[in-house]
Each structure stands twice: as structure tokens, then as C-alpha cells.
Chain A
Amino acid sequence: MSSNFKSGLTSTIATAVIVAFAASVAQAKGTVNVYNWSDYIDDSVLKDFEAETGIKVNYDVFDSNEVLETKLLAGTTGYDIVVPSGSFLSRQIQAGVFQKLNKDALPNLRNMWSLVSDRTSIYDPDNAYSINYLWGTTGIGYNVEAAAKRLHGKPVDSWEIIFNPEILAKFQDCGIHMLDAPTELIPAALNYLGLNPDSHNTADIEKAAALLKTTRPYIQKFHSSEYINTLANGDICLAIGWSGDVFQARDRAAEADNGVTINYIIPKEGALMWFDQMAIPTDAANTREAHIFMNYIMRPDVIAKASNYVVYANGNKASQALLDQDVLEDPAVYPDEETMAKLYVTTPYAPKIQRTVTRAWTAMKSGQ
């Protein structure tokens, strides 16, 4: 009896060990923890990656660079890949947050587009720490019917619709949202005023803040992701937003067939061009898997799928052959040369100037 019991126990343990071993083999492929912007990927990209490599993806989202940066500066985020925008990335590299990429593990780098990687090297010299995921512009999204009614057929093509209070006031009744992103709106106001959008001069910034203040009475909300849904379902009719997000609103409205038509424009005065860069934190636990994931993202068919889905341009030249025509040929997504010349980039503010910018933004938002 006792020996039976013993052998039974032994076999149970043996089975348990085998099961545990089998499980550990399955897990040996590892996991990768990705922290990306909300509404910024086609979920099937992640599923395909898991199926192909056996690496499990834990995918988590944020909607502001500020939130990401605070987590990174606090340390031990638990993420293996994060996606800050250029000017934030630049400062985070200085703070020692990221590790240099092992370019030998990233053969797909050969697919990248020099037009984009030249610009991102402003933030990340030699692109030593990051690869471009997607890029876009900060422009104007609007409800076509509501705009036609209020502007009597005049086209929406200028920042005037936002920065001329007389025109902006006409949209107040149908709802206006603005991105809660001072580092993008101050440059937009500077650009409209004919000043250098990348000015770090306090006097210039105050002029921009004064202009933004004139728009305050008409803005319903400052938020950086809500406008996708509110534009799509007709709750608001005008938003300063990110190109692809507005296009997603357009697509959602078309899908819902609710009589709402959304359009996005890069105003004729120009707009901010920004780059969202994938990078690996120094304390990432799964560096190897992170490189595999990055290399996968740089595969032309994969990034084309992402671009087709979220309607943002990417920094991958080879993927362009695989893009939907209405994405590649839309100058609001892939700007033509003339528009491209009017796009501007910004560089990170020094802490003192950053404080001036944030303070001006808070004062403007709270109407003080």
C-alpha cells in the first residue's frame, strides 16, 4: 500500500515535471512588452507576429508623450519597446533612458526611407537608438457638412478657421476639440503668426499663447484621443488632431453610415511633421525579443498593413508598393513635394522654456 502510494506519487511528480518542462519549452520563445499609442496598430499585425515567432506580445497603450516620458523617467517600466515622438525621444536619449540598437539584429533596416531617417536623425543622431514606426502631421479635422453650412462653400484650407475667432465662433455650437499637447499647438500658433514654429524665445511663445487664448471661449475640450469617436459620431464638428486619427474617425463614420463625413487637411500655412520612434529602454528585460519585433515591424508587408489600417505614413520605402492607393496617393497622408516643403519639425525645449510653455498652456486652458 505504502509503496504503491509512493510509486503513484513519483509518477505524478514525473508527469508534473514533464508538463512544466513542456510549458517552459513553449515559453522559451519569450515575450515582448510593447507600449504604443492608442488606436495605432492593426491587431492582426500582433497576432501574425505571435503565430510566426511564438513570442507572446503584451500590448499596452497611452495617448500622450507626457505620460510615457514620466513612466520612463521613473524607471523600470517593464516595457521592452516604447514609441515616443521625436522631440521627446531626443530628450529621453539625453536622460539615458534608451539602449543603443544592435543593428546586426535588424537586417530590415535596409527597407527604410532616407527622407524620413534623415529627419529623425535630428532627434536621434545616426538613428542609433530608434527606428521610425509611423509619422504624420498635426492639422485640422472637420465635419464636411457642418463646415459647408457654416462657411457657405468656402473650402477649409487654412489655420484661419482656428485662429480667426470670427470663423471659429461659427463652429462653437457643433463642438470643437483641441489636442491637449502644448508642444504641438504653440508651434502651430507661431507658424500662423509668421514666426519660427520652433522658436524657443519666451516673447514669441507668449505671443503664440495670446493667440491661442483668443480661441479658448469656443473650445469644448482639450483631449488627445477622444476626438476620434466624437468626430465620427457627430458630437463635434472641428478638431485640431493628428492626421491618421482623423482618418480613423472618417473611416468609422463611413462604416457607421451615420450621415457624418469627416475630412482632414494640412493647412496651406504648413503643419507640424512628427515622427513616432520605436526604442528599447535600458532596463528592458527582453532585448532579444524587442529586436525581433522591431525587425518584424520593418518588414514591408507588415508596416504596410499597419499604415493601411491606421492611415498614417511610415518611414519604410519598400512598403510603398504594398500600400492602398488611397493611402499612398492622398497628399494629406503622403504629402506631395509642395506640401512637404511647408511642413516643419520642432526640437525639445529646455526645462525653463518648457515650464513657460506649460504654464501658458494651463493659463490658456483655464481661461486665466
Chain B
Amino acid sequence: MAVTDIASPPEEIQEPSGLSSGWGRRLFIAIPYIWLLVFFLAPFVIVLKISLSDVILARPPYFPNFDISEGWQGFLAMLRVFDLENYVWLAEDSLYLNSYLSSLRIASISTLLTLAIGYPIAYAMAKAPKEWRATLLMLVILPFWTSFLIRVYAWIGILKKEGFLNYFLLWTGIIDEPLMILNTDTAIYIGIVYSYLPFMVLPLYAVLEKLNISLLEAATDLGCSPLKAFWVITLPLSLPGVWAGCFLVFIPAVGEFVIPDILGGSSTIMIGKTLWVEFFSNRDWPVASAVAILLLLMLTLPIILFQKQQEKQAEASQ
């Protein structure tokens, strides 16, 4: 009897009675899909459409501009004008490739730096006495209560030639000449690492905190050095947190505009800035849209990797 119970669970649990609850469930599941449709797919299609059009001097500054009142004929007429010349243009001018590569480089280096700084912080938080942890967690989150823009601006005051950092270093005698950090790539790295550090620390902390202490105790009992125990137990077990943190930092860092604009120098090209120039200086919305579409496609790769990683993790934990 018990065996059949397990093999075929009672009907009513499988199929909650009534049509209305079935619809209710479908509606519930539909919410995230509607969300994706409205806030992801629809904007994507609009941008894709603009990327296939041509520039004109009008408002809005591109053509064709599909008017729903023209119906199906208008839609077909619009399709006939579409072409890929904006994408061809992106391929022909090295500026765009260089911008993409430079963005990837800056995002990768920043992500590694954030990991290098974030891991010890998360580790220390997870190892801290239990009664401190909530406070430490609060300290990581606290900067979010101030506007992101103001925090980035504050770095100008710290990094500039007559800024706090130079005053401090000159005062301690570590340097004789003020360091030129502001308006360089170094300032961008500092800005990104500072701004995105919580995104690295939080997932790492979540994983490290749950780490089973008895595994480390067993390792010590069997004569394993603490350093080795870290390499063979803690680090591999915290990898999901490392992945999550890295993606959360890397993905927004690639498209970052504010930090390079405020802290970076004119010689740093990043895709966010290139896109700004297309949009504002050239008034070329179609090319700007093409740049955005390519950026999105480029970012889809790490996002898919992230997804795969999450699935693997989910399977492993089952």
C-alpha cells in the first residue's frame, strides 16, 4: 500500500480542483514572462528596429518611423527600407572594435581586482563572531544609501592632484611628487572596484557563511595545514559565490558610462562613451542602436555561462 502511495501520489495534490485555480496558476506563471516581454523584449525590438533605419534631420532623427495607423502596408514599406549598413559601418571603423575590446579589458581587470579585495572581506565577515555579522553586513550595504553619482564624485576630491590621497601620502613621506591618478585608467579601476564591491562581497559571504565547519575540522584532524585546507575545501566550495560575484561585477562594468566619464581621462575609450558620442555628438541614433545591440549580444555570452553555472549548481545541490 505504502509503495503504491509513493508511486502514484494522490490525484488531488497533482491537479488542484477547478478551472479557475488552473487559470490563476497560469496567470501567476505568466507574470515573469509578461515582465520580460514588456521590459526586455519590447525595448530590444525597438532598438533593433532603429538600428536598421537611416538618419534624417527630423524629430525623431531616423527613418522609417513606423506609424501603427498605416497598418500592414506601412509595416511592409518599413521593412523594405531596412538594411544592415549601420552594422557594416561598425565593422569598417576600428574605433568600435577598440572600444569593445577596451571595455572588456577594463571590466575583466576590475572584476579580478574586486574579487581579490572582496574575497578576504567576505571571508573575514563569515569568520567573524556571530553577533558582529549583522553589523558587518550592514556596513557593506550602507554606502548604497548615498547616491551612486555622489559617491563617484567624491573620488574626484580624493584622487585629484591636491586631493586627500596625495596630501596624506606626501605627509607620510611615501611620495615626494603628487600622484596623477585622476583622469587615468587607474581612477576608473578604483571607481569600479569601489562601486561594485558589495556585489562581490554579498554572494561570497552568503556561500562562505554556510560552509560546513566540520569539514575543516576533519581536515585539521587529519593533519592538513590551514592553507591547504583553504585551497582544497573552502575555495572549491565557495566557487558558486565567486562566479555569481564575478558576473554581477563584470556585466555592468562592461557597459559602464558614469565612472569612466567622471573619473577617466579622455584617452580611455569605452563602449559606453562611444555610444554616448554616437547618440549625442553625431545624432546618429541608428548607429548608436547598432552599437547597443552588439553590446547586448556580447554580454549574452557571459550571461548564458552564468545561467549554465547556476543550473549545474542547482543540480549539484539536489
A binds B: yes
Chain B residues with CB under 8 Å of A367's CB are 267
**Is A359 in contact with B183, judged by CB distance below 8 angstroms?**
no
Judge whether B162 is part of the interface by a CB distance below 8 angstroms.
yes
Q: Chain A nearest CB: distance from B267 CB in Å?
A: 5
Q: Chain A nearest CB: distance from B63 CB in Å?
A: 12
Chain A residues with CB under 8 Å of B283's CB are 66, 69-70, 73, 351, 354
**Is A366 in contact with B282, judged by CB distance below 8 angstroms?**
no
The stretch among A23-31, A93-101, A119-127 that forms the contact with chain B is A93-101
In angstroms, Cα B55 to Cα A220, docked, is 34
A-B contacts at CB below 8 angstroms, number: 71
**Is A221 in contact with B183, judged by CB distance below 8 angstroms?**
yes
**Is B282 in contact with A97, judged by CB distance below 8 angstroms?**
no
**Can you give 21 A-B contacts (C-beta < 8 A)?**
A67-B280, A69-B283, A72-B59, A73-B60, A73-B61, A75-B60, A94-B57, A95-B59, A95-B61, A97-B59, A219-B266, A221-B183, A221-B266, A235-B162, A351-B57, A351-B284, A354-B283, A359-B95, A362-B95, A365-B267, A366-B268
Q: Mark B233-275, 1 if CB is under 8 A from A, else 0.
A: 0000000000000000000000000000000011111000010
Judge whether B213 is part of the interface by a CB distance below 8 angstroms.
no
Chain A residues with CB under 8 Å of B277's CB are 358, 362
B89 nearest CB neighbor, chain A only: A355
**Is B161 in contact with A235, judged by CB distance below 8 angstroms?**
yes
From B59, B94, B183, contact of A73 by CB (8 A):
B59
Q: Chain B nearest CB: distance from A129 CB in Å?
A: 15
Judge whether A222 is part of the interface by a CB distance below 8 angstroms.
yes
Judge whether A368 is part of the interface by a CB distance below 8 angstroms.
yes
Judge whether B220 is part of the interface by a CB distance below 8 angstroms.
no
Q: Chain A nearest CB: distance from B6 CB in Å?
A: 62
**Is A95 in contact with B58, judged by CB distance below 8 angstroms?**
yes
**Is B280 in contact with A366, judged by CB distance below 8 angstroms?**
no
Judge whether A203 is part of the interface by a CB distance below 8 angstroms.
no
**Is A96 in contact with B59, judged by CB distance below 8 angstroms?**
yes
Judge whether A256 is part of the interface by a CB distance below 8 angstroms.
no
Judge whether A167 is part of the interface by a CB distance below 8 angstroms.
no
Judge whether A363 is part of the interface by a CB distance below 8 angstroms.
yes
**Is A363 in contact with B95, judged by CB distance below 8 angstroms?**
yes
Judge whether A91 is part of the interface by a CB distance below 8 angstroms.
yes
Q: Chain B nearest CB: distance from A152 CB in Å?
A: 25
- Mark A residues whose CB is within 8 Å of B: 64, 66-67, 69-70, 72-75, 91, 94-97, 175, 182, 219-222, 235, 351, 354-355, 358-359, 361-363, 365-368
In angstroms, Cα B284 to Cα A354, docked, is 10
Chain B residues with CB under 8 Å of A70's CB are 279-280, 283
**Is B267 in contact with A366, judged by CB distance below 8 angstroms?**
yes
Q: Chain B nearest CB: distance from A91 CB in Å?
A: 7
In angstroms, Cα B261 to Cα A222, docked, is 11
Judge whether B281 is part of the interface by a CB distance below 8 angstroms.
yes
- Mark B residues whose CB is within 8 Å of A: 55, 57-61, 93-95, 98, 160-162, 183, 265-269, 274, 277, 279-284
From A222, A351, A354, A359, contact of B93 by CB (8 A):
A359
Known: A221-B265, A221-B266, A235-B160. Is A355-B282 also a contact (CB below 8 A)?
yes
From B98, B161, B265, contact of A368 by CB (8 A):
B98
In angstroms, Cα B63 to Cα A95, docked, is 13
Chain A residues with CB under 8 Å of B160's CB are 235
B99 nearest CB neighbor, chain A only: A366
A69, A73, A74 pick with most chain B CB within 10 angstroms: A73
A174 nearest CB neighbor, chain B only: B161
B287 nearest CB neighbor, chain A only: A355
From B61, B265, B268, B282, contact of A358 by CB (8 A):
B282
In angstroms, Cα B283 to Cα A67, docked, is 10
Known: A95-B57, A97-B59, A365-B267. Is A358-B98 also a contact (CB below 8 A)?
no
Q: Chain A nearest CB: distance from B289 CB in Å?
A: 13
B58, B60, B274, B283 pick with most chain A CB within 10 angstroms: B283
Chain A residues with CB under 8 Å of B284's CB are 351, 355
**Is A182 in contact with B281, judged by CB distance below 8 angstroms?**
yes
In angstroms, Cα B84 to Cα A261, docked, is 55
In angstroms, Cα B43 to Cα A355, docked, is 26
In angstroms, Cα B65 to Cα A73, docked, is 13
In angstroms, Cα B279 to Cα A96, docked, is 19
B57, B93, B281 pick with most chain A CB within 10 angstroms: B281
B285 nearest CB neighbor, chain A only: A73
Chain B residues with CB under 8 Å of A94's CB are 57
Q: Chain A nearest CB: distance from B161 CB in Å?
A: 7
Q: Chain A nearest CB: distance from B58 CB in Å?
A: 5
**Is B58 in contact with A222, judged by CB distance below 8 angstroms?**
no
Q: Chain A nearest CB: distance from B153 CB in Å?
A: 12
A180 nearest CB neighbor, chain B only: B266
**Is A220 in contact with B183, judged by CB distance below 8 angstroms?**
yes
B61 nearest CB neighbor, chain A only: A73
A362-B95, A368-B94 known; 5 other A-B pairs, CB under 8 Å? A67-B280, A69-B283, A73-B59, A221-B265, A235-B162
In angstroms, Cα B282 to Cα A361, docked, is 11
In angstroms, Cα B283 to Cα A361, docked, is 15
Chain B residues with CB under 8 Å of A219's CB are 266
In angstroms, Cα B61 to Cα A354, docked, is 15
B160 nearest CB neighbor, chain A only: A235
In angstroms, Cα B267 to Cα A367, docked, is 6
Q: Chain B nearest CB: distance from A209 CB in Å?
A: 14
A74 nearest CB neighbor, chain B only: B60
Chain B residues with CB under 8 Å of A363's CB are 95
In angstroms, Cα B61 to Cα A1, docked, is 66
Chain B residues with CB under 8 Å of A362's CB are 95, 269, 274, 277
Across the A-B interface, the 9 shortest Cβ-Cβ residue pairs: A66-B280, A365-B266, A358-B281, A366-B269, A73-B61, A222-B266, A367-B267, A95-B57, A70-B280
Known: A235-B160, A354-B283. Is A91-B95 also a contact (CB below 8 A)?
no
